[in-house]
């Protein structure tokens, strides 16, 4: 009789406990309808306003929020009420409850800090994992635990955008503390009837708790800029750790909650002041540009050249491989005896990219040149250092592959070759903080560096690491020498035009088109214009397009004449090579230029100095860099001539930057890019 009275009372109290929940849900629904009606009225008022007026996002926002609480209960729960203790303690529980609350938020657009306030219904309901009682009966427990919560928060918009973070305390007042305990039938006693369900309220429940929360959200504007009343939809998620969330003053029960939901907020923005525009008639001023064509009196078609070609001390390896690339010339042991630096054309690479075959044939015979010289000078020794971002061992494996070729094919004593590995070369192409074209730069840093302390192997006047090997002298026919170029200059084009083109019309009415270009100066080999014609008179029209789209034309004329140099005229060529993005080569080559190159200039000779770069980096930067390097070389040579009391030499200096039409090599492989970082010195005898 006593048990039945207790059960009836519990059910009665449970119905009372659900009453506030129903009231809050109804209030939430009514509030939503009220907001919708208010919003409709405001929108109707704004429809009468001028559409061109725009408004800021509101600073004050009012609305409602609804979310799901994902509750995770931990600890132990056994004493359910003062009069009721279960036989086995419950541990973990989970549940999903409702959160519903009005929202007030303040945040000035374009600022970082603001605040939020939410106060409403907060369910922390949960169902415990089933346990077994001492009689081996399955037991279940669930609760409808809920609170009235007040949650003031600091609102932080770290990027001054619609994304925000919020954090602050949570003060909760207990609203419902009911439980439902159910105990099933023991499989050991299947005929014994199950115990009746027990409903009631947890005892020793705290009337209030103080905890914390941290979360993030994003404001999504739903209203046009022309609407003063702004509606925002804000999805949010927050984390409520178990700190301070012990519902009872006894046992160890605590709750951790993850909340995810949406908030609907409205507010009124401020009118954005529109600056009155004053119409000023635009006066289009034609850009002041000058069009000049400089052409040699006689255009050389080709010239015999004796070139001192530098041999860079790097062997480049393909990504992911420690084998010497197939583009290098690798001999068989029985070919070593017939190898000679003077006849490198006998041993050509399998594939070349087409430009400057003679020079790249020299470079791709690098290991054969090195092996041949070490046989000639048996007291010399070298150090091979492989560089690999993959790791030191990978770098050393590349060095070992290079050593193996020299010891197996040229039978160099292994003791004369030291190997090592490192992550980056001593002088890397990839610079700290660099972000552009890293693929090409890292491709260049995967290499084996050849270093030696033996002067017999190195360039004149040099010793130490990263010093080029002694150059190779080759003789070749140079087509379209540098002094055969026709130069077209449009002074002011870089600021006046977005681009410009040229039309060259001969006396027969045939028209050739060149361009478009963006730089001020363009050089084109004369033979590319004349073709097979020995000479020609041309009417040249330059057309530039301004930034406003207007076309501006300038015209001039030029007479071009081809000339083939006599066979006995031979030009000498020397090259100075640079590391990536540096001018350090000037200091290294100072004595070489002074004591080797300058004395070879014949009386009344002409020295043409032209600088180049690879394709990495900005076009304007590379143009200035190539010109600066070429002028530095000129200064060193002029200083050497002055010391010798000579003033009979004519200098011509050009900077061609990364211009691929004029570059000595292509840019497909690291070897070619390294050789394009160069200043070339052409010494031409007096005509």
Which pLDDT tens digit goes with each residue over 83-101? 999 989 999 999 999 999 9
CA separation for the pair 253, 251 (Å, rounded):
6
Assigned CATH class of 569-687: alpha beta
φ and ψ at 289, to 5 degrees?
-125, 150
> What one-character DSSP code corresponds to residue 271?
B
Assigned CATH class of 2-268: mainly beta
pTM above 0.85, yes or no: no
For residue 5, what pLDDT band results from cuts at 50, 70 and 90?
Answer: very low
Which pLDDT tens digit goes with each residue over 603-617? 999 999 999 999 888
- Is the pLDDT at 2 greater than 70? The verdict is no
Pair 372, 341: CB distance under 8 Å? yes
Q: Report helix, strand or coil for 503.
A: strand
Q: Do domains 2-268 and 290-300+480-563 have the same CATH topology?
A: no
- Is the pLDDT at 171 greater than 50? The verdict is yes
Q: Which of 18-27, 118-127, 215-224, 647-656 is least confident?
A: 18-27
Pair 472, 309: CB distance under 8 Å? yes
Residue 435: name the closest of 194, 617, 642 by CA.
617
Q: Residue ranges per domain, the chain?
A: 2-268, 290-300+480-563, 313-467, 569-687
Angle between helices 392-409 and 366-376 (to 10 degrees): 60
Q: Does domain 290-300+480-563 have CATH number 3.90.45.10?
A: no
- Is the pLDDT at 560 greater than 50? The verdict is yes
For residue 102, what pLDDT band results from cuts at 50, 70 and 90?
Answer: very high
- Tell me the torsion sign for CA atoms 319, 325, 326, 328: positive
Q: How far is CA 337 from CA 15, 255, 260, 318, 411, in A?
A: 106, 85, 80, 29, 12
Residue 384: name the closest of 332, 302, 314 by CA.
314
Residue 15: name the closest of 202, 196, 144, 183 by CA.
144
Mean pLDDT of 528-547: 88
End-to-end CA gap in the chain = 133
138 Cβ contact partners less than 8 Å away, ≥ 6 residues apart: 130, 131, 132, 183, 184
Q: Comparing 423 with 295, which gets the higher pLDDT?
A: 423
- Tell me the torsion sign for CA atoms 353, 359, 361, 367: negative
The predicted pLDDT at position 294 comes to: 85
Pair 122, 172: CB distance under 8 Å? yes
CA separation for the pair 392, 394 (Å, rounded):
5
Pair 560, 531: CB distance under 8 Å? no
Tokens describing residue 678: 């160069």
Beta-bridged to residue 172, according to DSSP, are 149, 209
Domain 313-467: give its CATH superfamily.
Answer: OmpA-like domain (3.30.1330.60)
For residue 8, what pLDDT band results from cuts at 50, 70 and 90?
Answer: very low
- Is the pLDDT at 447 greater than 80? The verdict is yes
Q: Give burial (CB, 10 Å; 0-12/13-18/19+) of 423.
A: middle
Q: Is the peptide bond before 686 cis (omega within 30 degrees of 0)?
A: no
Give 318's Cβ-side CA count (13 Å radius): 9
Q: How far is CA 23 from CA 11, 28, 97, in A?
A: 19, 9, 16
Q: Report helix, strand or coil for 631.
A: helix
Mean pLDDT of 456-481: 75
209 Cβ contact partners less than 8 Å away, ≥ 6 residues apart: 147, 171, 172, 174, 244, 245, 246, 247
């Amino acid at each position: 009789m006593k048990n039945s009275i207790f059960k009836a009372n519990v059910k009665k109290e449970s119905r009372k406990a659900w009453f506030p929940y129903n009231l809050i849900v109804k209030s939430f629904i009514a509030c939503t309808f009220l907001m919708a009606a208010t919003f409709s009225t405001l929108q109707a008022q704004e429809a009468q306003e001028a559409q061109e007026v725009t408004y800021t996002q509101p600073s004050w926002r009012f609305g409602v929020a609804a979310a799901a609480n994902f509750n995770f209960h931990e600890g132990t729960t056994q004493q359910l009420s003062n009069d009721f203790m279960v036989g086995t303690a419950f541990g973990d529980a989970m549940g999903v409850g409702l959160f519903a609350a009005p929202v007030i938020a303040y945040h000035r657009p374009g600022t970082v800090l603001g605040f939020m306030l939410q106060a409403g219904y907060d369910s922390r309901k949960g169902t415990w994992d089933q346990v077994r009682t001492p009689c081996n009966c399955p037991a279940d427990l669930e609760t409808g635990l809920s609170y009235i919560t007040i949650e003031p928060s600091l609102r932080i918009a770290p990027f001054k955008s619609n994304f925000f973070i919020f954090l602050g305390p949570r003060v909760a007042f207990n609203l419902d503390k009911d439980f439902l305990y159910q105990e099933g039938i023991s499989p050991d006693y299947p005929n014994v009837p199950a115990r009746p369900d027990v409903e009631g309220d947890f005892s020793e429940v705290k009337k209030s708790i103080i905890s914390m929360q941290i979360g993030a959200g994003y404001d999504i504007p739903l209203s046009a800029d022309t609407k003063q009343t702004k509606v925002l939809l804000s999805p949010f998620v927050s984390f409520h750790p178990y700190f301070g969330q012990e519902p009872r003053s006894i046992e160890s029960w605590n709750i951790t909650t993850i909340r995810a939901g949406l908030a609907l907020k409205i507010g009124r923005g401020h009118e954005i002041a529109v600056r009155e525009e004053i119409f000023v008639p635009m006066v289009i001023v034609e850009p002041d540009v000058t069009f000049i064509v400089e052409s040699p009196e006689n255009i050389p078609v080709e010239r015999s050249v004796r070139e001192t070609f530098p041999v860079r001390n790097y062997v480049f390896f393909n990504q992911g491989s420690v084998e010497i690339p197939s583009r290098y010339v690798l001999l068989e042991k029985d070919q070593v005896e017939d190898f000679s630096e003077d006849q490198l054309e006998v041993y050509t690479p399998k594939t070349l990219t087409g430009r400057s075959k003679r020079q790249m044939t020299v470079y791709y015979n690098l290991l054969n040149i090195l092996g041949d010289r070490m046989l000639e000078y048996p007291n010399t020794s070298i150090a091979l250092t492989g560089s690999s971002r993959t790791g030191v061992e990978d770098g050393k494996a590349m060095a070992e592959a290079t050593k193996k070729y020299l010891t197996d094919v040229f039978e160099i004593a292994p003791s004369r070759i030291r190997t090592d590995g490192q992550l980056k070369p001593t002088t890397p192409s990839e610079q700290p903080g660099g972000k552009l074209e890293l693929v090409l730069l890292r491709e260049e840093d995967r290499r084996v560096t050849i270093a030696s302390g033996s002067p017999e192997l190195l360039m004149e006047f040099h010793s130490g690491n990263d010093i080029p090997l002694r150059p190779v002298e080759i003789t070749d026919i140079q087509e379209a020498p540098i002094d055969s170029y026709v130069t077209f200059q449009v002074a002011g084009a870089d600021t006046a035009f977005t681009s410009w083109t040229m039309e060259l019309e001969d006396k027969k009415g045939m028209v050739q088109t060149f361009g478009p270009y963006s730089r001020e100066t363009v050089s084109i080999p004369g033979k590319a214009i004349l073709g097979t014609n020995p000479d020609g008179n041309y009417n040249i029209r330059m057309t530039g397009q301004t930034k406003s789209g207007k076309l501006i034309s300038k015209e001039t004329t030029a007479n071009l004449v081809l000339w083939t140099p006599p066979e006995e005229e031979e030009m000498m060529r020397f090259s100075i090579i640079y590391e990536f993005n540096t001018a350090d080569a000037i200091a290294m080559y100072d004595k070489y230029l002074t004591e080797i190159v300058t004395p070879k200039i014949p009386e009344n000779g002409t020295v043409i100095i032209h600088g180049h770069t690879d394709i990495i980096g900005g076009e304007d930067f590379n143009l200035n860099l190539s010109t600066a390097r070429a002028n530095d070389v000129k200064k060193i040579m002029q200083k050497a001539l002055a010391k010798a009391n000579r003033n009979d030499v004519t200098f011509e200096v050009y900077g061609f930057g990364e211009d691929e039409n004029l570059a000595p090599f292509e840019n497909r492989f690291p070897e070619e890019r390294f050789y394009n970082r160069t200043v070339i010195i052409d010494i031409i005898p007096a005509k």
